[in-house]
Amino acid sequence: MAILVTGGAGYIGSHTVLYLKEQGEDVIVLDNLSKGYSGALLGTLSYKGDIHDESILDEIFNTHKINSVIHFAASSLVGESVSYPLSYYENNVIGTHRLVKKMVEHDVKHIVFSSTAATYGEPNSIPIEETDPTIPTNPYGETKLAIEKLLKWSDQAYGLKSVCLRYFNAAGADPAGRIGEDHDPETHLIPIVLQAALGKRESIKIFGDDYDTDDGTCVRDYIHVMDLAQAHYLAVKKLQEGAASDVYNLGNGKGFSVNQVVETCKKVTGKTINAELAPRRMGDPAVLIASSEKAKRELGWTPQYQGLEVMVSHAWEWHQNNEDGFEK
């Protein structure tokens, strides 16, 4: 039995594929390579194609014995989603509708879905728990929440069991240095700071220092990408053992401000990093910190790489050896 990973050539997807293979799983990837890189697949059997393409989904489900799907394929930038909401609804919601329709037709009963802290919007209380209100403040979060609901109703109607994993801020890279984080253009804080450390950028921008936090910059809960990968594996296993559908937060329960991230990057790299103050970025809540007690309790999730320094060190290792990222 194999696991189909959609979006398996992207950042979190490719690290999950690597982790699954290390656990001895049979993995097949579907990725349109619009954002991901074939170099991140390290030779995993893959189909270049889109989740909107029903014929490629039929081909995959007819050719391979797929027992479960891990679904990453999506557009995932908050700012971009505000400018292009229709494209986000099309890629994320309509794309997932196609995928789920084909899963139901081919009697595939388990899906682990890549959801997000953006489903919560501006939190009422910290740390955020799964039962807290979900009021997204941008189309990205809205589309992910709409998919969670699509999955809930598909369980009731078709018996499709799902685990929705709401990640906080993914960080780090494969500790063995085989793959890492590469977006084009890069928008995420840690890789941007590391590009500055490498001299590939003159400076970085700090988006706002007038938030209601200790140093005025936004606070986020960073979680190692390999720890996210572990959670996907555990979620698939739990579904395969007959568990009910559920939703879990994935974070470390510890917040770091933008300034603290920059300081950690300076310490790990030993480089000077020029930072400029810039206006706030639209849609950024001041503080996002997860309670992940439920995932620890119910999935048996045990994050291995909890310190920010470890995450930055692994990312730095990969960036130093791959200054231009994956082959374009």
Which residues are catalytically annotated? Answer: 140
From 187, 195, 260, 322, residue interacting with ligand UDP (rule: CB under 6 A): 187
From 163, 189, 250, 273, residue interacting with ligand UDP (rule: CB under 6 A): 189
> Under the criterion CB under 6 A, does residue 169 sit at the interface with ligand UDP?
yes
From 29, 164, 218, 235, residue interacting with ligand UDP (rule: CB under 6 A): 218
How many residues line the site for ligand UDP (CB under 6 A)?
15
For ligand UDP, which residue has the nearest CB? 218
What residue has token string 């209100």? 133
Alpha-carbon separation of residue 24 from 2, 78, 111 (angstroms): 11, 35, 19
- Minimum distance, C-beta of residue 115 to ligand UDP, in the bound complex (Å): 13
- Minimum distance, C-beta of residue 61 to ligand UDP, in the bound complex (Å): 32
Residue 3 vs 288, nearer CB to ligand UDP: 288
- Minimum distance, C-beta of residue 224 to ligand UDP, in the bound complex (Å): 14
Q: What is the DSSP letter of 23?
A: T
Write the DSSP assignment of 73-107 as a string of letters: -S---HHHHHH-HHHHIIIIIIHHHHHHHHHHHTT
E strand segments, the chain: 2-6, 26-31, 46-48, 66-71, 110-116, 161-167, 169-171, 204-207, 219-220, 222-224, 246-250, 256-257, 275-278, 287-288
From 40, 111, 151, 192, residue interacting with ligand UDP (rule: CB under 6 A): 192
Q: Hey, what are 245's tokens?
A: 């559908």
**Sign (positive/negative) of CA torsion 79, 85, 87, 89?**
positive
> Under the criterion CB under 6 A, does residue 163 sit at the interface with ligand UDP?
no
In one-letter notation, the amino acid at residue 119 is T
- Window of 32-40, 188-196, 248-256, 312-320 that interacts with ligand UDP by CB under 6 A: 188-196
From 89, 207, 216, 254, residue interacting with ligand UDP (rule: CB under 6 A): 207
Q: Are 261 and 193 in contact (CB under 8 A)?
A: yes
> Under the criterion CB under 6 A, does residue 18 sit at the interface with ligand UDP?
no
Residue 4 vs 286, nearer CB to ligand UDP: 286
- Window of 39-47, 149-157, 186-194, 303-311 that interacts with ligand UDP by CB under 6 A: 186-194
Q: Are 147 and 94 in contact (CB under 8 A)?
A: no
* Closest of 235, 227, 196 to residue 314, by C-alpha: 227
Map the footprint of ligand UDP across residues 97-156, applying CB under 6 A: none
- Minimum distance, C-beta of residue 210 to ligand UDP, in the bound complex (Å): 12
Q: Are 172 and 161 in contact (CB under 8 A)?
A: no
> Under the criterion CB under 6 A, does residue 204 sit at the interface with ligand UDP?
yes
* Closest of 116, 108, 114 to residue 95, by C-alpha: 114
Neighbours of 105 (CB within 10 A): 13
Residue 241 vs 276, nearer CB to ligand UDP: 276
Element (H, E) at 235: helix 225-240
> Under the criterion CB under 6 A, does residue 200 sit at the interface with ligand UDP?
no
Alpha-carbon separation of residue 216 from 164, 213, 255, 276 (angstroms): 32, 5, 13, 14
From 27, 29, 74, 78, residue interacting with ligand UDP (rule: CB under 6 A): 78
Query: In the stretch 250-289, what mask flags binding to ligand UDP with x, by CB under 6 A?
Result: --------x----------------------x--x-----
Q: Which residues here bind ligand UDP, judged by CB under 6 A?
A: 78, 169, 187-189, 192, 204-207, 218, 220, 258, 281, 284
